[in-house]
Amino acid sequence: MSLLDKHQLDNQLKELVGWEFNNNQIEKVYKFKDFIEAFSFVNVVALESEKMDHHPDILIFSWNKVKISISTHSEGGVTEKDFELARKIELRLSQKV
């Protein structure tokens, strides 16, 4: 899997609302109504990630926020696989975790 260049990154980010490229990874912060909803979302992300054998960094903070950071560590940056996982996360969220 090869790293995406700046043009490819920019094009893919246009399709994903709220996602940004920072520190060689794509990331997004989600805000939920409470801790249980945030934690339920983390479980959904964990299941999707495990299916892909591609695991993001997940941070729960401020009791109702979750930050997801995705990169392909073996490649040292962002690949198509990272965007595939981000799209799956967005799809699952739209289906009401």
Average pLDDT over all residues of the chain: 95
Give residue 96's pLDDT.
65
How far is the CA of 49 from the CAs of 5, 7, 35, 37, 81, in angstroms?
Answer: 24, 26, 21, 18, 11
Q: Whole-model pTM?
A: 0.93
Tell me what percent of the residues of the chain surpass a pLDDT of 70: 98
Parse the chain into domains and list their residue ranges.
6-94
Residue in 75, 68, 69 with CA at minimum distance from that of residue 93: 68
Whether 84 shows a pLDDT value over 80: the answer reads: yes
Nearest to 80, CA basis, from 7, 22, 2: 2
What is the topology classification, in CATH, of domain 6-94? Gyrase A; domain 2 (3.30.1360)
pLDDT tens, 2-40? 999 999 999 999 999 999 999 999 999 999 999 999 999
